[in-house]
Chains A and B, each alone.
Chain A
Amino acid sequence: MGLRSYIITRILLTIPTLLLLLSMVFLIMRVLPGDPVALHFEKKATPEQMESMRRALGLDTPLWTQYIEYLGGLVDIGYILEHGYPNLGKSMQTFEEVGGQIFSAFPATLELAFYSMIIASVIGILLGVISSKSYNSILDHLIRGVGTVTYAVPIFFLGIVFQLIFGVYLRWLPTGLRINPAVDPPATITGLYTIDSLLQGNLFKFFESLKALLLPSLTLGIILSGIFIRMTRTNMLETLRLDFVTAAKARGLKESTVTYGYALRNAFLPILTMMGLQFAILLGGAILTETTFSWPGLGRYIVDRINFRDYTAIQGAVVVFGLFVTLVSLVVDILYAYLDPRIRL
Chain B
Amino acid sequence: MMEKIELSIVVLVLIGIIVSSGTMYYMTTVVDNLSTLTDDVSTLTESVTNLTSTISDLALIMSEGFQEYAEAIAALTARLAAIEAGLATKETLIVGTTDSVEKTLDPAQAYDYFGWCILQQIGGTLVSVEPGSPKGSDFIPDLAVNWSSNDDLDIWDFNLREGVTFSDGTEFNATHVKYSFDRAIALIPSIPEGAPAGLGYDAIIDRTEVLDTYKVRFHLKMSFSPFLGILASRSSTIVNPQYAPIAQINHTTADPRASTPVAFAGPYVLSKWNRVAGRDVEIKLDANPNYWDLASGYPRMAHVIFRFYSDAATLRLAIEAGDIDMAYRHTSPTDVLDLEDNPNVKVWWGTGAAIQYFCFQTKRAPFNDTRVRVAVTAALNRTAVCDTVFLGLSDPLYSIIPPGMLGHTEAFQKLGDANYTLTTSLLAAAGYDATNKLVFDLWYESSGHYPMSAEQALMYKEALEGSGVITVTLKSADWAGYKQNRDSEIMDAYIYGWYPDYVDPDNYAFLYWAKWIHTNYYNETINGLPNPSYPAYLQQVALYDEARATTNITLREELYAQIDEIAVEQCSVVPLWVGSGWAVTTPPIYGVFLDITQDMRYWLIYK
Q: A residues near B, CB below 8 A?
A: 32-36, 38-46, 49, 91, 93-96, 101-102, 104-105, 108, 160, 163-164, 167-168, 171, 174-178, 180-183, 185, 201-205, 207, 290-294, 296, 298, 300-301, 304-305, 307-309, 313
Tell whether A93 pairs with B278 under 8 Å between CB atoms, given A45-B193, A160-B313. Answer: yes
- Chain A nearest CB: distance from B499 CB in Å? 12
User: CA separation between A204 and B324, bound complex, in Å?
Assistant: 19
Q: Which residues of B contact A35 (CB under 8 A)?
A: 480, 483-484
* B479 lies within 8 A of A96 (CB): no
**Residue of B at shortest CB range from A180?**
B323
* A168 lies within 8 A of B92 (CB): no
* B276 lies within 8 A of A296 (CB): yes
Contact for A104 among B276, B311, B447, B477, CB less than 8 A: B276
- Chain A nearest CB: distance from B463 CB in Å? 28
Q: Classify the secondary structure of A's interface with B.
A: loop
- Chain A nearest CB: distance from B525 CB in Å? 19
Tell whether A294 pairs with B103 under 8 Å between CB atoms, given A174-B321, A182-B85. Answer: no
- Chain A nearest CB: distance from B448 CB in Å? 8
Can you pick out 26 interface pairs between chain A and chain B where the beta carbons lie within 8 Å of each other?
Answer: A35-B480, A41-B193, A43-B197, A43-B198, A49-B192, A94-B278, A96-B254, A105-B277, A163-B321, A168-B321, A174-B318, A175-B317, A176-B317, A181-B324, A182-B85, A202-B78, A202-B81, A203-B74, A203-B77, A205-B81, A207-B78, A290-B310, A291-B311, A294-B318, A296-B308, A304-B277
Contact for A182 among B92, B253, B281, CB less than 8 A: B92
* A298 lies within 8 A of B277 (CB): yes
* A300 lies within 8 A of B192 (CB): no
Q: Which residues of B contact A174 (CB under 8 A)?
A: 318, 321, 323
Q: Which residues of A contact B548 (CB under 8 A)?
A: none
User: CA separation between A171 and B586, bound complex, in Å?
Assistant: 14
Contact for B253 among A96, A181, A292, CB less than 8 A: A96
- Chain A nearest CB: distance from B154 CB in Å? 23
Q: Which residues of A contact B310 (CB under 8 A)?
A: 176, 290-294, 300
Q: Which residues of A contact B94 (CB under 8 A)?
A: 181-182
Q: For the complex, is B96 an interface residue (Cβ under 8 Å from A)? A: yes
Q: Which residues of B contact A202 (CB under 8 A)?
A: 77-78, 81
Q: Which residues of B contact A101 (CB under 8 A)?
A: 276-278
* B282 lies within 8 A of A185 (CB): yes
Contact for B192 among A39, A44, A102, A160, CB less than 8 A: A44
Chain B residues 166-196 with CB under 8 Å of chain A are 192-193
- Chain A nearest CB: distance from B57 CB in Å? 29
* A296 lies within 8 A of B192 (CB): no
User: CA separation between A95 and B249, bound complex, in Å?
Assistant: 13
Q: Which residues of B contact A176 (CB under 8 A)?
A: 309-310, 314, 317-318, 323
User: CA separation between A291 and B314, bound complex, in Å?
Assistant: 9
**A-B residue pairs, 3 tightest by C-beta:** A34-B480, A105-B277, A204-B81
Q: Which residues of B contact A102 (CB under 8 A)?
A: 277
Q: Which residues of B contact A293 (CB under 8 A)?
A: 310, 314
Tell whether A307 pairs with B314 under 8 Å between CB atoms, given A41-B192, A94-B278. Answer: no
Q: Which residues of B contact A40 (CB under 8 A)?
A: 193
* A38 lies within 8 A of B483 (CB): yes
- Chain B nearest CB: distance from A307 CB in Å? 5
* B305 lies within 8 A of A292 (CB): no
Chain B residues 226-261 with CB under 8 Å of chain A are 253-254
Tell whether A182 pairs with B89 under 8 Å between CB atoms, given A40-B193, A167-B323. Answer: yes
- Chain A nearest CB: distance from B198 CB in Å? 6
User: CA separation between A163 and B309, bound complex, in Å?
Assistant: 14
Q: B residues near A, CB below 8 A?
A: 74-75, 77-78, 81-82, 85, 88-89, 92, 94, 96, 103, 192-193, 197-198, 253-254, 274, 276-279, 281-282, 305, 307-311, 313-314, 317-318, 320-324, 447, 477-481, 483-485, 487, 514, 516
* B278 lies within 8 A of A91 (CB): yes
- Chain B CB within 10 A, most for which of A290, A298, A307: A307
- Chain A nearest CB: distance from B96 CB in Å? 7
User: CA separation between A160 and B310, bound complex, in Å?
Assistant: 13
* A167 lies within 8 A of B192 (CB): no
Contact for B278 among A36, A44, A96, CB less than 8 A: A96
* A168 lies within 8 A of B320 (CB): yes
User: CA separation between A279 and B485, bound complex, in Å?
Assistant: 39
User: CA separation between A300 and B311, bound complex, in Å?
Assistant: 11
- Chain B nearest CB: distance from A206 CB in Å? 9
Tell whether A108 pairs with B321 under 8 Å between CB atoms, given A177-B307, A202-B77, A204-B77. Answer: no
- Chain B nearest CB: distance from A290 CB in Å? 7
* A43 lies within 8 A of B516 (CB): yes
Q: Which residues of A contact B81 (CB under 8 A)?
A: 202, 204-205
* B254 lies within 8 A of A160 (CB): no
User: CA separation between A294 and B253, bound complex, in Å?
Assistant: 20
- Chain A nearest CB: distance from B136 CB in Å? 22
**Residue of A at shortest CB range from B482?**
A34
Tell whether A307 pairs with B447 under 8 Å between CB atoms, given A38-B483, A181-B324. Answer: yes
User: CA separation between A304 and B276, bound complex, in Å?
Assistant: 12
User: CA separation between A49 and B192, bound complex, in Å?
Assistant: 8
Q: Which residues of A contact B279 (CB under 8 A)?
A: 296, 300-301, 304
**Residue of A at shortest CB range from B320?**
A168
User: CA separation between A252 and B198, bound complex, in Å?
Assistant: 85
* A44 lies within 8 A of B197 (CB): yes
* A94 lies within 8 A of B254 (CB): yes
- Chain A nearest CB: distance from B477 CB in Å? 6
Q: Beyond A102-B277, A175-B318, A203-B78: 19 further Cβ-contacts under 8 Å?
A: A32-B481, A33-B477, A33-B484, A34-B481, A35-B480, A42-B193, A101-B278, A104-B276, A167-B320, A168-B317, A176-B309, A182-B92, A183-B85, A202-B77, A293-B314, A296-B277, A301-B278, A301-B279, A304-B278
User: CA separation between A102 and B279, bound complex, in Å?
Assistant: 12
**Residue of A at shortest CB range from B486?**
A38
* A182 lies within 8 A of B305 (CB): yes
- Chain A nearest CB: distance from B453 CB in Å? 14
User: CA separation between A204 and B80, bound complex, in Å?
Assistant: 9
Q: Which residues of B contact A167 (CB under 8 A)?
A: 317-318, 320-321, 323
**Residue of A at shortest CB range from B92?**
A182
Contact for B480 among A95, A290, A296, A309, CB less than 8 A: A309
Q: Which residues of B contact A309 (CB under 8 A)?
A: 480
User: CA separation between A202 and B77, bound complex, in Å?
Assistant: 8
- Chain B nearest CB: distance from A65 CB in Å? 23
